[in-house]
A and B are shown apart, each in its own frame.
Chain A
Amino acid sequence: MIAQVFAKRGASALHHYDPRAKAVNLLTFLVLFFLPIRVWHLGVYLSVLIMVSGIFLGLRNTLRPIRLILPILILVVLLTPPFHREGDPLLTVRGLTLVSVSGLLLALRLIVRFTGITLVFYLFIGTTDPDELILAFRWFRAPYAVSLVLSLALGYIPTIRALYDQVRDAHRLRLAAEGQAAAVSAARPRAGGLFKRLREAVPVLTSVLILSVRRIPTLAMALECRGVGRKNPRTSYHTLKTGTAFLLDGAIALSTAAALITSVVLFP
């Protein structure tokens, strides 16, 4: 399911880049964007990210996450200055500072930071196969049980979604009658109706939950039939990259980290 957000699977070099290396890059940029360096420098790093994304994923895919966060960015621009009116005033009304330079700069910093973080996560998640992501977690010493919960949950999401649709249909058909409102359906955005629609949703949710909860012992049986719970150590059929390929990607990750750190030190 995560694949739907991805650029075409396996299409770019970034897709083949080892997820562990990508994680290092992610961390580096995250720290970077929170450092108290000049906004313009942060802007440079953001541009680097945009370029990387544009080159490897294409312009349309690069704009997608940015478009998603546009409303939030506007919100930040509008709402940050009122809370930070100290320093040189930019806009005053009858002697009262509405907008100050530092307020605007802070808003800018926040926008650059948030966009940067968004892009860096997008580059990471958007180019990594869920199975590989889970393998990377295990490599970073996450317990096998957690990775199995993750992969099973991902597999069950479509199942439960389909179940919900069917239950909704079944309830709707059953309760359809002359002059009676149908059970849970889509939008009728009335504020007062919110809790009413919540109440109408309870029968559907009840059926879905009962059906889902009944599958817990069955899934557990399936797991034990496949040996989950054995005392011997578990081996792995799939691996991430090993040998030279791994070292290469590691080198890329570490050298980019080094380059970024150096640039911070040289141009604070």
Chain B
Amino acid sequence: MLLARPDQGKTTLCRVLAGLIPRFSGGEIKGEVCLGPIRPLDREPYELIDQVGLVFQHPGEQLLTSRCDSEVAFPLESMGLARSEIQQRVTRSLRSMDLERYRYQSPKVLSGGERKKLLIACLLAVDPHLWLLDETLEELDRGTKRQLLELLKDRRRSTLILSAKWHDIFREYADLVYLMEEGQVRPVREKPGTRDFHRLLLNRGFVLPGEGSVPDQPPSLARAHTTRGSKTDAGILLEVRDLFFRYEQGRAETASPFTLSIDRLHIAAGKVLAIIGDNGSGKSTLGRLLCGLLAPGEGEIRIRREGVLQRAEAQDLNRFTGYLFQDPDLQIFLPTVFEELALGLRHLNLPAPEINRRVQEAVALFGLPAGDAPPSLMSYGTRKQLQAGVYYLLERPLMIIDEGDSGLSTDDFSQMVRIFRDRERALIFITHDHRLAGALADEVLELKAGRFA
């Protein structure tokens, strides 16, 4: 097992082992990689597929065909196997992963967890000696995790599981555990499952089941905190009443389209609200309604303008809210960090020295590199910080952060929440992580199938 928090080099390591890096990335490499007698760095990756198999972190990047059985058959076709052999292996693999019913369907209709199962089925059909699983076990339910781990116990297979979280179930299966930080790998000597082991992980900022995970704030960044529970109308920035929304088309697996129904929701200035829920519960839909990207079918959203709560149309919400999408690259298009940060300020017709000052403030606050760096070449975490910096300078009354904690370390995300916590503005963040929500927010609301639980 290899444990590493986001953005520390897990995926790069996998790809080196599979011979994909530096082949596709360029750059310098020193040293050797030996998988038994095979040296991936000296061979082409396609020659190695029966020795090394890799499951990408994002299934969407690895799916190639329009049918599940074609997907499993694809590598077998590449290997030149006879059709009858391919048919047998495809059937066996699909059945092992309980995907037979999706045989003729497109991989696109599968959920995230099912897609990962499909990719595992692809590997199963080829059955290489070494399996590299990049965060594959996330999004799988416990039963499937166990099934997979049992499968991998086979003596003929060696497996490297890379994960950002430690799950209890690993204790029974992990023979060796490594820790990776900033590209450095070191073995973990503490025995998995022991108190020492857990303490080590906690110190390194890992999330553990059933334990608090947010470190104490350093005193210099103490929150400027308003008192909890002030519910007077005077403080409310945004209010939702009798909101109802329905998607036009239903999703593939469900008979009826998804609906969202919120009786009442409000958020006051200076408050941080967390919205949690599973995939498909409607978190992102609600986020998009609140910032005006979607229009409600019924009900209204009111925002505070000129001191009074007024009904808001989509365009009003566009201007009132800042929305940090999960993907920070959606809005990057300028050559330097400076220009990205300055764009919104330029439209306000501020004088150049003032723009400069504010940009430098954002750079310092979010730990961004110097103004000349091209944003698209920065690391993922830094791009997310840039996205936050852009919106910080736009000074919208309501900020919504959508799954900001994925791709950012807990420290960085906590810091981001702290920065946006402001006496006059409000912050909503959407997340999977219950503990994080509880630790950072003033109030936590849970969405289940489009309704507050």
A and B in direct contact, judged by CB atoms within 8 A: yes
A207 contact from B69, B319, B331, Cβ within 8 A: B331
CA distance A237 to B47 in the complex (A): 20
Q: By the criterion CB–CB under 8 Å, are B86 and A207 in contact? A: no
Cβ of A217 < 8 Å from any Cβ of B? yes
Q: By the criterion CB–CB under 8 Å, are A182 and B331 in contact? A: no
Q: Mark B311-349, 1 if CB is under 8 A from A, else 0.
A: 000010011011101010111110000000001100110
- List the A residue with the shortest CB-CB distance to B326: A166
Q: In the complex, which residues of chain B have a beta carbon less than 8 angstroms from the beta carbon of A215?
A: 61
Cβ of A175 < 8 Å from any Cβ of B? yes
Segment from B76-84, B195-203, B218-226, B274-282 that makes contact with A: B76-84
Cβ of A86 < 8 Å from any Cβ of B? no
Cβ of B376 < 8 Å from any Cβ of A? yes
Cβ of A71 < 8 Å from any Cβ of B? no
Interface band, chain B? 35 or more
CA distance A180 to B54 in the complex (A): 48
Q: By the criterion CB–CB under 8 Å, are B80 and A172 in contact? A: no
CA distance A233 to B81 in the complex (A): 10
Cβ of A244 < 8 Å from any Cβ of B? no
CB distance from B359 to the nearest CB of A (A): 16
Given contacts A229-B44, A237-B83, A237-B87, contact A177 B293 (CB under 8 A): no
CB distance from B153 to the nearest CB of A (A): 24
Q: By the criterion CB–CB under 8 Å, are A225 and B18 in contact? A: yes
CB distance from B324 to the nearest CB of A (A): 10
Given contacts A177-B347, A227-B78, contact A210 B20 (CB under 8 A): no
A225 contact from B49, B65, B348, Cβ within 8 A: B49
- List the B residue with the shortest CB-CB distance to A144: B77
Q: In the complex, which residues of chain A have a beta carbon less than 8 angstroms from the beta carbon of B137?
A: none
Q: By the criterion CB–CB under 8 Å, are A166 and B70 in contact? A: no
Cβ of B265 < 8 Å from any Cβ of A? no
Q: Using a CB-CB cutoff of 8 Å, which residues 69-105 of chain B contact chain A? A: 69-70, 73-83, 86-87, 90
CB distance from A151 to the nearest CB of B (A): 7
CA distance A230 to B74 in the complex (A): 13
Interface SS of chain A: helix
Interface band, chain A? 35 or more
Q: In the complex, which residues of chain A have a beta carbon less than 8 angstroms from the beta carbon of B61?
A: 215, 218-219, 222
CB distance from A181 to the nearest CB of B (A): 11
Q: In the complex, which residues of chain B have a beta carbon less than 8 angstroms from the beta carbon of A239?
A: 83
Cβ of A255 < 8 Å from any Cβ of B? no
CA distance A63 to B137 in the complex (A): 51
B327 contact from A166, A203, A224, A236, Cβ within 8 A: A166
Q: By the criterion CB–CB under 8 Å, are B86 and A237 in contact? A: yes
Q: By the criterion CB–CB under 8 Å, are A233 and B86 in contact? A: no
Q: In the complex, which residues of chain B have a beta carbon less than 8 angstroms from the beta carbon of A72?
A: none
Q: By the criterion CB–CB under 8 Å, are B64 and A211 in contact? A: no
Cβ of A206 < 8 Å from any Cβ of B? yes
Q: By the criterion CB–CB under 8 Å, are A229 and B46 in contact? A: yes
Q: Using a CB-CB cutoff of 8 Å, which residues 174-208 of chain A contact chain B? A: 174-178, 180, 182, 203-204, 206-207
Q: By the criterion CB–CB under 8 Å, are B80 and A234 in contact? A: yes
Cβ of A12 < 8 Å from any Cβ of B? no
Q: By the criterion CB–CB under 8 Å, are B46 and A155 in contact? A: no
Cβ of B268 < 8 Å from any Cβ of A? no
Given contacts A224-B20, A225-B20, contact A172 B318 (CB under 8 A): yes
Q: By the criterion CB–CB under 8 Å, are A225 and B45 in contact? A: yes
Q: By the criterion CB–CB under 8 Å, are B333 and A206 in contact? A: yes
Q: Mark A101-124, 1 if CB is under 8 A from B, else 0.
A: 000000000000000000000000
Q: By the criterion CB–CB under 8 Å, are A177 and B78 in contact? A: no
CB distance from B120 to the nearest CB of A (A): 14
Given contacts A224-B44, A237-B87, contact A207 B329 (CB under 8 A): yes
A contact set with B: CB distance below 8 Å: 130-131, 151-152, 154-155, 158-159, 166-167, 169-178, 180, 182, 203-204, 206-207, 210-211, 214-215, 217-230, 232-239
CB<8 Å pairs between A and B, sample of 13: A166-B327, A166-B330, A170-B330, A203-B333, A207-B332, A214-B329, A222-B62, A224-B44, A226-B46, A226-B78, A227-B79, A236-B77, A237-B83
